[in-house]
Chains A and B, each alone.
Chain A
Amino acid sequence: EVQLVESGGGLVKPGGSLRLSCAASGFTFSSYSMNWVRQAPGKGLEWVSSISSSSSYIYYADSVKGRFTISRDNAKNSLYLQMNSLRAEDTAVYYCARGGVVTAFPFDYWGQGTLVTVSS
């Protein structure tokens, strides 16, 4: 059974940093692209970033480019999102989502999400 479990969310002050993790199991993690998708309270889904299976291809939404860094450790079956210079508008539930083998999409499995709150 495919499982994605996010962790690392919490309350952080504006300008602060946070590192999210996503532990994957039930599939060959090293074969799949992975993504981060977020959802602000009461709002819609927003794609944040994607990373290919070997980390060769990495893409970011304009809203986080230069502040967020996606990475993965295939030996540990883990996906990460380093978030720096956080702003109030980054407050959201952050989901990790599995992409495809060849492409970063579609997002066929999702974690339960971890809440990030940016507030003073």
Chain B
Amino acid sequence: QSALTQPASVSGSPGQSITISCTGTSSDVGGYNYVSWYQQHPGKAPKLMIYDVSNRPSGVSNRFSGSKSGNTASLTISGLQAEDEADYYCSSYTSSSTQVFGTGTKVTVL
């Protein structure tokens, strides 16, 4: 199972909006509404930010939103803040009943 494709880096200024893409195939992202997004700060464990494409867990800021079109899922961060600077990973359920992560995106707040 190949990793989902994410841009290596995305940057934005405070207050701006950025979008991170996550491209898979019809056997994973495109086939199921089971895409999740995780935020990871250096040296820390990942944190769930979005699940089932567009749902936010309790306690996650509504500045984070998710969507999907075809084989590509997206995470949008609006009103970018310094604390959003981190690595972000998507993940998806697959037709083999396994999970696959994306390659990861480093978000930089300018």
Which of B51, B97, B103, B104 is within 8 Å of A106, CB to CB? B51
Chain A: interface secondary structure?
loop
Whether A45 and B98, one on each chain, are in contact in the complex, defined by CB atoms closer than 8 angstroms, is no
User: In whole angstroms, how far apart are the Cα atoms of A108 and B55 in the complex?
Assistant: 12
Per-residue CB proximity of B23-34 to A under 8 Å, as 1/0? 000000000001
Bin the interface of chain A by size: 20 to 34
Q: Which segment of A66-74, A80-88, A109-117 sits at the interface? A: A109-117
Which residues of A come within 8 Å of B, CB atoms? 35, 37, 44-47, 50, 57, 59-62, 95, 97, 103-108, 110-113
Which residues of B come within 8 Å of A, CB atoms? 1, 3, 34, 36, 38, 40, 45-48, 51-52, 57, 89, 91, 93, 96-104
